[in-house]
């Protein structure tokens, strides 16, 4: 595999010599791009000898080869280890003032980053915000570990061990293309039902789980239409850059219904992960409602159409329909029972149920779900929303195979 290893100016740069060596001895074609500051820790000669390729930090060397674009384009995987606080900030901002920065912007390969720094720098809100930005963009963060740091102190900030980084990095390269040829329609985010020109009935869905499902399906080869209602900042960043994801933005239930009907007409798999309002306001005011106009306010709510049930009723032959249900169940058993009931009621093939409450479910990076089919619970998954997304797609494929038998 063509792998670019970015090395930035932290003391852990010496450990990346071992990391590069592990990759080279495993048979990979490794190209090292250090920052200028990284060369203060480990010199050019070492990187060239260990990677067996010429090494430069600058976009102005080998200009005829357009290295700043070529390396990024050719890369099948990019690893940045160690990643300093400074380089994380530069990556989050998209700065491209050296060869590593330009390569990171030019690549569409998975990017794996191993931060290393003192605990205070790691805990700083600026660093944490940069990490969140990178994660939202689909960058994989490995570590840092908790342990001894330079200077004798100890805490979170130590670069993950090279073996760990290599294993994590090789795991993110899409080896699977088990959804190639499938067209998948996914909805995500929360709908907003207008009350008046400035107010709405909404919900706390961040859109993260649906976006993760769309991305996972695209990474596994599917052509994806992602119908996105309102989502948190940057949730769609990674999907919007994916060559196999087409994003359609919607706001209220009626728009979501139309967009999903259009997408489903072409789709082999329909996954309804959006949080759809069950109610809308009966009469939407054309003018902003004012306190002075009235003595209190009673809004009449009417039920919105059941989009999932509609899609299930109109399903094309061979089409698989997956619905999500966020439930405020007290126990696992109650969640299971509700999931089984709801799947049957909606007439969908699979129902993915997760527990939500004031403090769980929405907006979190992790999720825990049950997947039920007519056979009962066929999968349980927990962890990062991307891992849960892959488990849902695995369950979907298993259910399709089962139906064909
Ligand atoms: C001895 C020494 C060790 C350093 N270790 C780290 C480190 O582990 N993490 C970090 O974020 N910065 C570290 N720094 C500070 C960075 O080198 C500095 O922020 C530099 O500008 C990073 O440049 P780069 O991100 O372009 O490589 C260290 C500096 C020195 C002098």
In a domain, 178, yes or no: no
- Which atom in ligand 1 lies closest to the alpha carbon of residue 88? 25
The verdict on 252 and 212 lying in the same domain is: yes
Residue of 7, 9, 11, 14 with the most ligand 1 atoms within 8 Å of its CB, for mutation: 9
In a domain, 107, yes or no: yes
The verdict on 28 and 122 lying in the same domain is: yes
Query: What is the C-alpha end-to-end distance of the chain, expressed in Å?
Result: 37
Active site residue 130: no
In a domain, 285, yes or no: yes
When pLDDT is cut at 50, 70 and 90, the band that residue 330 belongs to is: confident
The verdict on 196 and 260 lying in the same domain is: yes
Residue 379 is predicted with a pLDDT of 95
* 231 vs 154 pLDDT, higher one: 231
The verdict on 205 and 289 lying in the same domain is: yes
Q: Which of 323-327, 362-366, 388-392 has the lowest mean pLDDT?
A: 362-366
Could you tell me the two tokens for 87?
């380089």
Residue 351 is predicted with a pLDDT of 97
Instruction: Using the mean position of ligand 1's atoms as its centre, give its distance from the Cα of residue 109 in Å.
Output: 26
Instruction: Using the mean position of ligand 1's atoms as its centre, give its distance from the Cα of residue 9 in Å.
Output: 5
Select from 172, 197, 221 the last residue of a domain.
Answer: 172
Nearest to 244 by CA among 77, 79, 108: 108
The verdict on 140 and 288 lying in the same domain is: no
Find all residues with CB under 8 Å of 401, minimum gap 6, and list them: none
In a domain, 385, yes or no: yes
Instruction: Using the mean position of ligand 1's atoms as its centre, give its distance from the Cα of residue 128 in Å.
Output: 17
Q: Which of 35-44, 70-79, 352-361 has the lowest mean pLDDT?
A: 352-361
The verdict on 329 and 230 lying in the same domain is: yes
In a domain, 150, yes or no: yes
**183 within 8 A of 267, measured Cβ to Cβ:** yes
152-187 tens-digit pLDDT: 777 789 999 999 899 888 877 766 789 989 999 999
Q: Look at the block and give the residue holding tokens 């309102």.
A: 230
Q: Which of 167-176, 194-203, 212-221 has the lowest mean pLDDT?
A: 167-176
The verdict on 195 and 168 lying in the same domain is: no
- Which atom in ligand 1 lies closest to the alpha carbon of residue 86? 25
For ligand 1, atom 19, which residue shows the shortest CA distance?
Answer: 86
279-313 tens-digit pLDDT: 999 999 999 998 876 778 899 999 999 999 999 99
Residue 403 is predicted with a pLDDT of 82
The verdict on 109 and 250 lying in the same domain is: no
In a domain, 177, yes or no: no
In a domain, 346, yes or no: yes
Select from 172, 205, 231 the last residue of a domain.
Answer: 172
Residue 146 is predicted with a pLDDT of 87
Structural domain harbouring 207:
183-404
The verdict on 154 and 106 lying in the same domain is: yes
Taking phi over 0 as left and psi of -120 to 50 as alpha, with beta for the rest, 269 belongs to: beta
Residue 189 is predicted with a pLDDT of 97
The verdict on 163 and 202 lying in the same domain is: no
The verdict on 165 and 251 lying in the same domain is: no
Select from 152, 172, 192 the last residue of a domain.
Answer: 172
Q: What is the DSSP string of 322-370?
A: EEEEEE--SSHHHHHHHHHHHHHHHT-SEEEEEE--SSSSTT-SEEEEE
Distance of CA 70 to the CA centre of its chain: 26
Number of domains forming the structure of the chain: 2
HSE at residue 388, side-chain half, CA atoms within 13 A, is 25
Whether the CB of 262 sits within 6 Å of ligand 1 = no
CATH code of 204's domain: 3.40.50.10300
CATH code of 102's domain: 3.40.50.1950
In a domain, 158, yes or no: yes
For ligand 1, atom 5, which residue shows the shortest CA distance?
Answer: 10
HSE at residue 181, side-chain half, CA atoms within 13 A, is 1
- Which atom in ligand 1 lies closest to the alpha carbon of residue 34? 27
Could you tell me the two tokens for 56?
């430069």
The fraction of the chain above a pLDDT of 70, given in percent, is 96
When pLDDT is cut at 50, 70 and 90, the band that residue 231 belongs to is: very high
Instruction: Using the mean position of ligand 1's atoms as its centre, give its distance from the Cα of residue 84 in Å.
Output: 6
Among the options 130, 203, 354, 367, which is catalytic? 203
262-272 tens-digit pLDDT: 999 999 999 99
The verdict on 158 and 209 lying in the same domain is: no
Q: Look at the block and give the residue holding tokens 């670069």.
A: 159
Whether the CB of 157 sits within 6 Å of ligand 1 = no
């Amino acid at each position: 595999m063509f792998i670019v290893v970015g090395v930035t100016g932290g003391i852990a740069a010496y450990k990346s010599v071992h990391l590069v060596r592990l990759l080279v001895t495993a048979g990979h074609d490794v190209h090292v791009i250090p920052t200028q500051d990284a060369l203060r820790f480990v010199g050019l000669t070492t990187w060239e000898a260990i990677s067996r390729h010429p090494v430069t930090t600058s976009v102005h060397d080998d200009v005829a080869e357009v290295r700043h674009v070529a390396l990024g384009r050719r890369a099948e995987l990019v690893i940045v280890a160690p990643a300093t606080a400074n380089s994380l900030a530069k990556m989050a901002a998209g700065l491209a003032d050296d060869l590593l920065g330009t390569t990171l912007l030019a690549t569409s390969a998975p990017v794996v980053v191993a931060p290393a720094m003192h605990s205070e720098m790691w805990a700083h809100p600026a660093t944490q915000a940069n990490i969140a930005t990178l994660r939202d963009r689909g960058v994989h963060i490995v570590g840092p570990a908790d342990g001894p740091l330079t200077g004798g102190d100890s805490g979170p900030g130590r670069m993950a061990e090279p073996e760990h980084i290599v294993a994590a990095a090789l795991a993110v390269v899409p080896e699977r293309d088990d959804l190639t040829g499938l067209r998948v329609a996914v909805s995500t985010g929360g709908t907003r039902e207008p009350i008046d020109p400035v107010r709405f009935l909404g919900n706390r869905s961040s859109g993260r789980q649906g976006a993760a499902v769309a991305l996972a399906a695209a990474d596994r080869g599917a052509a994806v239409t992602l119908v996105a209602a309102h989502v948190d900042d940057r949730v769609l960043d990674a999907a919007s850059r994916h060559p196999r994801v087409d994003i359609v933005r919607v706001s209220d239930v009626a728009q979501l219904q139309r967009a999903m009907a259009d997408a489903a007409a072409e789709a082999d798999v329909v996954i309804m992960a959006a949080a759809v309002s069950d109610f809308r306001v009966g009469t939407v005011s054309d003018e902003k409602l004012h306190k002075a106009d009235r003595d209190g306010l009673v809004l009449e709510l009417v039920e919105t159409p059941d989009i999932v049930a509609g899609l299930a009723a109109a399903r094309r032959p061979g089409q698989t329909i997956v619905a999500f249900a966020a439930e405020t169940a007290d126990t696992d058993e109650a969640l299971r029972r509700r999931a089984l009931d709801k799947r049957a009621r909606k007439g969908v093939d699979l129902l993915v149920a997760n527990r939500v409450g004031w403090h769980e479910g929405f907006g979190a990076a992790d999720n825990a779900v049950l997947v039920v089919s007519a056979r009962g619970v066929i999968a349980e998954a927990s962890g990062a929303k991307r891992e849960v997304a892959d488990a849902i797609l695995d369950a979907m494929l298993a259910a399709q195979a089962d139906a064909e038998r």
